[in-house]
Structure 1
């Protein structure tokens, strides 16, 4: 077994790999960019090595710098995690040339499966069914368009390289093709350095099911059952579970055999995943999608139902050991479900978010596991993927696992950064999700129901006002009544009035009088009600109008962050709020809905545009967002260029509205 292993990744997967290395007594080496200096994975590793600036191309994607770090620290092997260099055949070759073990499959297997076109041809030869489409390499835009028309709409454009849904586009009509092809190529090139596209029939009412495989260098290939990954948004998985509620024993065996044959066809070793798409209306029909020649984000659910540590097995196979189990040893125990926690705002179209982690609440309890990169004081930027953590729950049956995960998410809160935790809880409570009736289009259909902004309760506004009162009060016993800043005066106590605002809502007037331990609070037009608040470390215990709640609390400048029941609310004192909010206003101003980088500018000053005309594209965390003209008129201002970084709500363009007909006549 290896003495020292370098983890060529960051975030929660680096943390997860390092923990197994520690459990096995193996010295761990972390690498990090300048943006990740001091990140959790660098603190958990035995050694941490800086490898360059924030852009991934100059750090985590730099083969030369990663291998230099391995050489300097005496690492005998490299674990690539997922993403970044994990499926990069040149990296695997470079490791081999440097005498360093790549903890993954052989170069030939990566080559065969990294190119989706070649992968389909390989598994077809092995008798595995594939999705109808056209997979010739090197197709031009015109050939891709012709292929789409021939396959029949709707079709799916897919990058030949990479994975994770990056660059995929569903095209429903011929007139959508030019923009879809351009966008898919641009995103694929930016994510994988390869803009080759293939065209497949889009299976609309589909379920996404994948099979975990393991192979060793001694000829053994087995599968560890399947995972249901149908709950997706923009081809990115959101909730995953094992086993699938769709498959029966016969279907599981059939799909498992197909996955093993696909792995055998390329001489696969280590941990990998064979992904299938299944027609929900004809569940016995399944088609090969792709093979991921690496560990998957959702591997914990397989670990929890099999009792196996997949990272440990990867290490043992890479060290030349035979698998310690065969197919007859694999048994699935209970049910596990995983939710991905992202730095994104579902209410604003799931746009990526950034900020500093001011406070953190992570769940514990029977059957609950958290794979996280979060730590108080850590900075969440826009340089990398927005996934922060994974919350997983296991139980003897699916419904108990689902309920445990809902409860765990209710005890998950990141104060200082907007996340999708409340959305995940809403999704897990959807009737079809509860019933296990899943498909890849469910989230899109339920979008408004799942992302609707719930009005903050009066209790939250009262808690925020009381939190500010608690902080203003002197510590210890009161000596002089005149020293208490609660509005007290001779005669009737005075009210302290605050205007508090939650993003996207109108400001609310909150009146408070008395001390925090014995106060009265009036929220909006409501009558005053008895209230009290007691601070216990980073928690605030609040009773208002007869209802008691415990909040995780952080006060940062003019913002009070409160978290309870899986929902985090940021309340700002209204006078300190910036005036801009949202992409555009009625006056024609266009602001960036997320911090990021301008990748494309499609308009020029003086252009006549209609409402909805694309003006520019902003990219952050590998997600593109097209900013459009809010009104018909003339582009009067365009203050950005391609490659320029922009801040959240920064004004990037101005469209002067067209004059109304009666104004023109005058």
Structure 2
């Protein structure tokens, strides 16, 4: 969240990261933080990297949050409670996006098309294949496909959501400060889920859309999603284009995406004409 005072905070830049622990998500965010730190130091900026400690919050510095989602939520709560300005997602927006059920309800009320989504506590009401995903979270952690038979009993609880599997092309769009990047199509075969493994460890090729009408439609819808969810920093908005009915369906708004130089967020904005220097300036509240 770029608070009103963030634009006037002095250097150096402090990048808050996860403490080292045996967790792939923490490793990914620490690696991304190193890339951003390298960019800033190459530009001649003094940068300090610190592990997040709720009892030792930075003061009198520009703070950039590069944390895994669970730690990001803790850090945002602590910083907001202390009145400390930082560069990262605001708490309210982060929670709206983190809770997929709430996000779907909000986006649907705004007139944006979404897959049919239900709690996993009862019968799904649609035939397999069925997508089962955690209600809270991001990065496709815990996502699975039930291709036949009922949803397993261990997954039928309030913490999980179910959706019919939609076949089509998956798209992602980076958004910041009311600017939408070029939609990128992910090189996945139809029916192959975009799991955590495929998102970060075996990432598919990203391709620009040749259909300019569809590209403009995805950009417009991504901005509409961002407005509906009240996002206040960088987000990545994911869709699936159901080709059979030409429906562009909202899948997720990641309010704490990877924003490093190799990220889909950065690639989308760069393809849309926003140079990396401007991206960094906007991420740091300096544009």
Task: Pick the TM interval, shorter chain.
Answer: 0.7 to 0.9
The answer for the alignment partner of 1:235 in structure 2 is 195
The answer for the alignment partner of 1:623 in structure 2 is none
Contact 1:20 1:311 in 2 (8 A): no
1:147 partnered with 2:104: no
Q: Once the 2 structures are TM-superposed, how far is the Cα of residue 295 of structure 1 from its aligned partner?
A: 3.1
The answer for the alignment partner of 1:419 in structure 2 is none
**CA distance in 1: counterparts of 2:147 and 2:90, whole angstroms:** 38
Q: Once the 2 structures are TM-superposed, how far is the Cα of residue 263 of structure 1 from its aligned partner?
A: 0.8
Contact 2:94 2:256 in 1 (8 A): no
- TM-score using structure 2 length: 0.77
The answer for the alignment partner of 1:584 in structure 2 is none
Q: Which has the higher contact order (CA 8 A, sep 6+)?
A: 2
Contact 1:82 1:295 in 2 (8 A): no
Which of 147, 153, 162 does residue 199 from structure 1 map onto? 162
Which of 61, 80, 100 does residue 84 from structure 2 map onto? 100
**CA distance in 1: counterparts of 2:71 and 2:229, whole angstroms:** 20
Q: Once the 2 structures are TM-superposed, how far is the Cα of residue 79 of structure 1 from its aligned partner?
A: 2.0
Residues 242/4 of structure 1: CA separation in 2 closer, same or farther (3 Å cut): farther
Residues 250/67 of structure 1: CA separation in 2 closer, same or farther (3 Å cut): farther
The answer for the alignment partner of 2:24 in structure 1 is none
Q: Once the 2 structures are TM-superposed, how far is the Cα of residue 308 of structure 1 from its aligned partner?
A: 1.8
**CA distance in 2: counterparts of 1:291 and 1:109, whole angstroms:** 10
The answer for the alignment partner of 1:19 in structure 2 is 38
**CA distance in 2: counterparts of 1:250 and 1:170, whole angstroms:** 31
List aligned pairs for 1:488-499, cutoff 5 A.
none
Tell me whether 247-256 or 122-131 shows the greater mean CA deviation: 247-256
Contact 2:89 2:233 in 1 (8 A): yes
The answer for the alignment partner of 1:210 in structure 2 is 172
Provide the alpha-carbon RMSD of the alignment: 2.7
Q: Once the 2 structures are TM-superposed, how far is the Cα of residue 83 of structure 1 from its aligned partner?
A: 4.4
Q: Once the 2 structures are TM-superposed, how far is the Cα of residue 146 of structure 1 from its aligned partner?
A: 2.7
Q: Once the 2 structures are TM-superposed, how far is the Cα of residue 271 of structure 1 from its aligned partner?
A: 1.4
Contact 2:237 2:253 in 1 (8 A): yes
Contact 2:103 2:229 in 1 (8 A): no
The answer for the alignment partner of 1:312 in structure 2 is 281
Residues 262/233 of structure 1: CA separation in 2 closer, same or farther (3 Å cut): closer
**CA distance in 1: counterparts of 2:127 and 2:135, whole angstroms:** 20
Q: Deviations over 1:194-225 (max 9, x none)?
A: x811111111x32210111112xxxxx12112
The answer for the alignment partner of 2:58 in structure 1 is 70
The answer for the alignment partner of 1:167 in structure 2 is 142
The answer for the alignment partner of 1:226 in structure 2 is 183
1:114 partnered with 2:117: no
Unaligned runs of 5+ in 1: 32-50, 52-62, 136-143, 186-194, 216-220, 324-666
Residues 162/102 of structure 1: CA separation in 2 closer, same or farther (3 Å cut): farther
The answer for the alignment partner of 1:178 in structure 2 is 153
Contact 2:62 2:87 in 1 (8 A): no
Q: Deviations over 1:218-244 (max 9, x none)?
A: xxx121121222436661321242423
Question: Which secondary structure does the structure 1 equivalent of 2:214 belong to?
Answer: helix
Q: Deviations over 1:122-167 (max 9, x none)?
A: 11111110001214xxxxxxxx25332x122111111111111111
**CA distance in 1: counterparts of 2:183 and 2:233, whole angstroms:** 17
Contact 1:278 1:285 in 2 (8 A): yes
**CA distance in 1: counterparts of 2:193 and 2:257, whole angstroms:** 21
Q: Once the 2 structures are TM-superposed, how far is the Cα of residue 82 of structure 1 from its aligned partner?
A: 5.2
**CA distance in 2: counterparts of 1:146 and 1:303, whole angstroms:** 41
**CA distance in 2: counterparts of 1:176 and 1:158, whole angstroms:** 11
Residues 264/29 of structure 1: CA separation in 2 closer, same or farther (3 Å cut): same
Question: Which secondary structure does the structure 1 equivalent of 2:104 belong to?
Answer: helix
Unaligned runs of 5+ in 2: 1-6, 18-28
Contact 1:81 1:295 in 2 (8 A): no
The answer for the alignment partner of 1:290 in structure 2 is 252
**CA distance in 2: counterparts of 1:166 and 1:82, whole angstroms:** 12
**CA distance in 2: counterparts of 1:248 and 1:206, whole angstroms:** 15
Q: Once the 2 structures are TM-superposed, how far is the Cα of residue 293 of structure 1 from its aligned partner?
A: 0.5
Question: Which secondary structure does the structure 1 equivalent of 2:239 belong to?
Answer: strand
- Alignment: residue pair count: 253
Residues 212/153 of structure 1: CA separation in 2 closer, same or farther (3 Å cut): same
Residues 67/77 of structure 1: CA separation in 2 closer, same or farther (3 Å cut): farther
- TM-score using structure 1 length: 0.35
Contact 2:175 2:269 in 1 (8 A): no
Residues 233/201 of structure 1: CA separation in 2 closer, same or farther (3 Å cut): closer
Residues 155/300 of structure 1: CA separation in 2 closer, same or farther (3 Å cut): same
1:253 partnered with 2:216: yes
Q: Deviations over 1:284-316 (max 9, x none)?
A: 311011100023342342354235223332112
**CA distance in 2: counterparts of 1:4 and 1:288, whole angstroms:** 38
Structure with greater proportional helix content: 2
Q: Once the 2 structures are TM-superposed, how far is the Cα of residue 95 of structure 1 from its aligned partner?
A: 1.0
Structure with greater proportional strand content: 1
Question: Which secondary structure does the structure 1 equivalent of 2:34 belong to?
Answer: helix
The answer for the alignment partner of 1:628 in structure 2 is none
Question: Which secondary structure does the structure 1 equivalent of 2:123 belong to?
Answer: helix
